[in-house]
Amino acid sequence: MQKTKELEIMEEVLPQSYEKTVGKSPAKEFWKKFKKQKLALIAGVFIIFLIVISIIGPFIAPFDFAKADYKQTLQGPSWDHWAGTDAFGRDIFSRIIVGTKISLLVGFISVFAGAVIGTILGLISGFYGKWIDSIIMRFCDVLFAFPGILLEIGIIAILGPGLENVVVAVAIFTIPMFARIVRSNTLMLKSSLYVEATKSLGAKNFRIIWRHIFPGAISSIIVYFTMRLGTSILTAASLSFLGLGAQPPSPEWGAMLSAGRDYLGSAPHITIFPGMAIMLTVLAFNLFGDGLRDALDPKIKD
């Protein structure tokens, strides 16, 4: 009963242009805009390819990624070893394939955790306002007061080096960004007519937030999520490069690159290929995110 009432009022308050889009699903609308972006499409296909690799990687890698072969150390790219071998004679190409999973998982888990917490904080902050808003926003200000990667480095200095701690650090770093974006979306939606209409019908706060405000913010969240994925993968690789994340002999790309630093003169391929893997992955997420933004939510700027 209440639902139909809600619908009636919604139809009344929504502008006339709404009529034109009725019948076309939002997914179709989105696809129409998104498929025009060729680069983003290619990036999307590449991301799917990366996901597949991260699942089947260990089964298709031509060599055992962990097996040392001291007869074959520091060899350049060849037919046998496409990306050459490292100081222990391990096949770099196989290590990159197996390492895909690490980078994608670290990026995804950390951003997801940060996004969930940040979104909840942003919804609460924007919807309830007053003192709770002040507290949450000051908390964000403080996190933002630590420049760039330094917050993550500080957290790892406390927790100790390791990949799990990198995930925690990147997640904490991500919280305030989502909190701010979701808060501004919430503030905008809160004063919109359809939310006021639902409120006047006696809907509970939780219902308004969950059913009416959160869906309105979701396109911003998705866009930002994708864009943060690239940055987080890059940050995690940087931390591993600094020796604060994944430790050797892990085939994590940043750690591999770091191990190749001593052989820059004699075997530059040890650093070149893992670096290329990082760049292409991050580039794919950034291009995909740009495309999503243009199709879903042009309001968000760089």
Partner 1 sequence: MLQYLLRRLLGMIPILFIVTIIVFLFVHLIPGDAARLVAGPDANKETIELVRKDLGLDKPIHEQYFTFIGNLLKGDLGTSLKTHKPVFDELAGRFIPTFWLTFWSMLWACIVGILIGIVSAVKRNKWQDYTGMLIAVVGISIPSFWLGLLLMQLFSVKLGWLPTGGLEDWRGYILPSITLGTGVAAIIARFSRSSLMDVLKEDYIRTGRAKGFAENSLVKRHAIKNAMIPVITMTGLQFGFLLGGSVVTETVFSFPGLGRLLIDAIATRDYPIIQAEILLFSVEFILINLVVDLMYGFLNPQIRYS
**By CB under 8 A, residue 94 contacts partner 1:** no
Is residue 85 a contact partner of residue 92, using CB atoms and an 8 Å limit? yes
DSSP readout, 163-195?
HHHHHHHHHHHHHHHHHHHHHHHHHHHHTSHHH
Which CB, 33 or 199, lies closer to partner 1? 33
Binds partner 1 by CB under 8 A, chosen from 158, 191, 200, 202: 158
Which CB, 105 or 242, lies closer to partner 1? 242
CB of 258 to partner 1, least distance (A): 8
Of 51-59, 124-132, 208-216, 283-291: span binding partner 1 (CB under 8 A): 283-291
**By CB under 8 A, residue 261 contacts partner 1:** yes
Distance CA 214, CA 249 (A): 43
> How many CA atoms, within 13 angstroms, populate the side-chain half-sphere of residue 45?
6
Which CB, 124 or 256, lies closer to partner 1? 256
**By CB under 8 A, residue 241 contacts partner 1:** yes
Distance CA 248, CA 153 (A): 19
Binding mask 99-138 for partner 1 (x = CB under 8 A): ---------------------------------------x
Q: Which amino acid is at 102?
A: I
- Annotate 228-251 with b (16+ C-beta within 10 A) or e (fewer): bbbbbbbbbbbbbbeebbbeebbb
Alpha helices, H only, 24-129: 26-34, 38-60, 92-128
Binding site for partner 1 (CB under 8 A): 138, 141-142, 145-150, 153-154, 156-161, 230, 234, 237-238, 241-244, 254, 257-258, 261, 264-265, 268, 271-272, 275-276, 278-279, 282-283, 286-287, 290, 301-302
